């Protein structure tokens, strides 16, 4: 009798284990891809198009010394970059005047010259026939304004960034500690492209903060949206004359 019970228990255990094993592998849960393209583990399978992801970027405003902060959120759209597939691009609504456009522009400068109007936050690429291609830019903050004439001496795609020692010291005094060097990429402040001006530390470059276009926020460099600086980069050669006014 005891042997029969033991045999039945063993047989039941074997069948149960087999059944549980079959249940475990018979219907696997579906693979769900997060829509967050910034997640490093995401792989876009099958090459299917990815919908833009809209998220809210907080903007903090201080109402008073002891009053609670008020946070409003501006809509930002994130998409896969056409420049480098798989790298997210942040898009935010800009004032219409800062979007790329062809405008009337009378100047004595030759076609192909870049003229940067820092007061109005515009960069002009002079064209034939009294026209120019105009882009919105971010410029130097108060105390970092400059003017002059230089030439594009070098161009770089997804440039590395080495903060100048003066900037490192200045930011450290504010409690902000910068890296000694940063590889090129979507998080790099220089963005997708850079055009170096003369022997200075100034550049026309992209940005990882496109919402700053139209503002005076940089340490003297001229910043553009990544899609705009990439367009300009393809139209400009080393040796191009750049006038900053």
Q: Catalytic residue numbers?
A: 205, 221
> If 0-12 CB within 10 Å is exposed, 13-18 middle and 19+ buried, where does residue 209 land?
middle
CA angle 151, 152, 154 (to 5 degrees): 140
In sign, the C-alpha dihedral spanning 174, 180, 181, 187 is: negative
CA 185 to chain centre: 8
User: Measured between alpha carbons, how far is 37 from 88 in angstroms, rounded to an integer?
Assistant: 6
Rounded to 5 degrees, φ, ψ at 195 are -125, 115
DSSP string, 25-90: HHSPPPP---S-TT-TT---GGG-----EEEEEEEEE--SSSSPPEEEEEEEEEEE-SSSTTSEEE
């Amino acid at each position: 009798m005891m042997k029969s019970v033991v045999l039945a228990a063993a047989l039941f255990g074997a069948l149960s284990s087999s059944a549980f094993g079959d249940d475990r592998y018979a219907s696997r849960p579906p693979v769900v891809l997060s829509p967050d393209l910034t997640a490093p583990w995401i792989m876009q399978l099958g090459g299917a198009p990815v919908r833009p992801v809209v998220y809210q970027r907080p903007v903090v405003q201080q109402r008073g010394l002891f009053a609670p902060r008020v946070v409003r959120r501006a809509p930002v759209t994130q998409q896969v970059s056409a420049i480098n597939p798989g790298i997210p691009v942040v898009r935010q609504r800009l004032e219409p005047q800062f979007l790329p456009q062809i405008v009337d522009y009378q100047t004595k400068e030759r076609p192909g010259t870049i003229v940067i109007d820092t007061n109005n936050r515009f960069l002009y690429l002079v064209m034939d026939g009294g026209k120019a291609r105009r882009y919105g830019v971010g410029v130097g903050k108060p105390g970092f304004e400059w003017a002059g004439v230089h030439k594009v001496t070098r161009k770089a795609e997804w440039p590395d960034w080495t903060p100048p020692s003066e900037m490192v010291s200045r930011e450290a005094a504010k409690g902000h500690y910068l890296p000694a060097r940063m590889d090129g990429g979507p998080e790099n402040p220089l963005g997708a492209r850079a055009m170096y001006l003369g022997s200075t530390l100034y550049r026309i470059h992209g940005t990882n903060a496109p919402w700053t276009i139209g503002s005076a926020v940089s340490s003297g460099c001229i910043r553009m949206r990544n899609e705009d600086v990439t367009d300009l980069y393809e139209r400009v050669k080393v040796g191009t004359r750049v006038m900053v006014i």
